[in-house]
Amino acid sequence: MDNRQVADKIIEAIDSSGRHYRDSLPMIASENILSPLVRRACDSDLHGRYAEGLPGKRYYQGCDDFDTIEEMGISSAKRVFNCRFANIQSTSGTNSNMGALKSLTKPGDKITAVSTADGGHISHARMGAVGVRGLDLVTYPWDEDRMEPDIDAASEMIRSEEPALALFGQSVFLFPTPLEELADVAHEVGAKVMYDAAHVLGLVAGGQFQDPLKEGADVMTGSSHKTFPGPQGGFVLSDSEDEKLHRRLNSGIFPGVCSSYHLHHVAGKTVALSEFEEFGESYSRDIVKNAKALGASLAAEGFDVLAEERGFTASHQVVTRHGEIDSGAGRYAAAKLEEAGIITNMNMLPGDTKALAPSGLRLGTPELTRVGMGVDDMQDVARFFARALLEDEAPSSVKADVAEFKGDFQSVHYCFEPGSAYPGLQ
């Protein structure tokens, strides 16, 4: 295969991936799609430019127009998240966490966080950003029934361990964290409080989850491409009046963990922020409504849906168990669902210890909502799950019906110029 054939093969694979998602039900909770205007911002000359520093304080010439973009983005982010400080430069949620950890801790400091086995993100673990920063990690006692830190036991642990930083937030994130109680304890022992809102950032901004910066978090980080429907990237936010902290947070991102920080994505974030100011409340509200309806519909079909006694979820996520702990049942279910045209991810649940052989699935509604699906459609989605996993119907038969169903949902909603959700495909 010569070099041109390699390039053609890559384009072919890109188009194939687009068709795969177009004809399927994309339900990975960490994914979303771009509006036409955000896509235009990302597919621009800015993709190859540099603007190290802050607006008006650059290390390169030629940044006047980008200064305008970033200044408008910072102002919009402060309005959207109702806060005093916003950095919109980071290239991902994990990148945001790395920059914030650099700003708030030093190597060897003790940190408390949610265990990955209980739904914590890998960046909160020794294998991720916490380990890169050289921090001493202690994980919270966990309430499996409520899917949140055990308030009393976690409070006792924080008082005993006296960490430099108490980190909250999860990758499996069904319900708001009992943040006010735990942040008070953390501040009592002199710890800073950081809330990783990567998954729920759009729900927070839309007023549908919790307001961490008003509940005790000194710093909130997040991704710009999950429930917040922008391009891949991140945010670092704070409502503190401490300008020294603001400077540390800015320097934690640049020069801390970024040199070029993907100007086309910053421009896309800024457009997404403007669209969120217009449509974000309704979008985030509909995401949660759909997730609740999906949880109820899956349970009605006979699935083991976690947290039924709490209404299954208060976020964009629904979590299902498909077999015994560490059985690999989640891996098997995810593979079988993809054969049937439903894209999900296997996920560890409380008790699981094998990341590649977990018992559960984590399901999300951001993209289904973004293409116009509503509460009633979640019953149809759950029926497809049941046909594929409970009734053992031929995957090809389910897949054909999924593609027909998805054909009615091909446009991006909650944006200024609704358009094709999967552009360029025939």
pLDDT in tens, the chain (426 residues): 899 999 999 999 999 999 999 999 999 999 999 999 999 999 999 999 999 999 999 999 999 999 999 999 999 999 999 999 999 999 999 999 999 999 999 999 999 999 998 889 999 999 999 999 999 999 999 998 899 999 999 999 999 999 999 999 999 999 999 999 999 999 999 999 999 999 999 999 999 999 999 999 999 999 999 999 999 999 999 999 999 999 999 999 999 999 989 999 999 999 999 999 999 999 999 999 999 999 999 999 999 999 999 999 999 999 999 999 999 999 999 999 999 999 999 999 988 999 999 999 999 999 999 999 999 999 999 999 999 999 999 999 999 999 999 999 999 999 999 999 998 775
Question: 3-state secondary structure string, 242-309?
Answer: CHHHHHHHHHHHCCCCCCCCCHHHHHHHHHHHHHHHHHHHHHHHHHHHHHHHHHHHHHHHCCEECCHH
The letter for the amino acid at 202 is G
> Where exactly does CATH 3.40.640.10 map onto the chain?
38-273
- Cα separation, 46 vs 29, whole angstroms: 29
Helix, strand, coil percent content, the chain, rounded in steps of 5: 45, 15, 40
- Cβ neighbors of 62 (< 8 A, separation 6 or more) are 49
The letter for the amino acid at 96 is S
Sign of the dihedral defined by the CA atoms of residues 357, 363, 368, 374, in that order: positive
In the DSSP assignment, the letter for residue 354 is -
Give strand pairing partners of 88.
Answer: none
The letter for the amino acid at 326 is D
- Topology adopted by domain 26-33+279-406: Aspartate Aminotransferase, domain 1 (3.90.1150)
Distances from the Cα of 255 to the Cα of 98, 99, 103, 189, angstroms: 12, 9, 11, 30
- Topology adopted by domain 38-273: Aspartate Aminotransferase; domain 2 (3.40.640)
Compute, in degrees rounded to 10, the torsion defined by CA atoms 313, 114, 169, 100.
-170
> Where exactly does CATH 3.90.1150.10 map onto the chain?
26-33+279-406
- Cα separation, 229 vs 169, whole angstroms: 19
Return the structure tokens found at 122.
């890998």
* Tally of CB atoms within 10 A around 228: 32
- Cα separation, 406 vs 426, whole angstroms: 15
Q: Specify whether the CB–CB gap between 67 and 263 falls below 8 A.
A: no
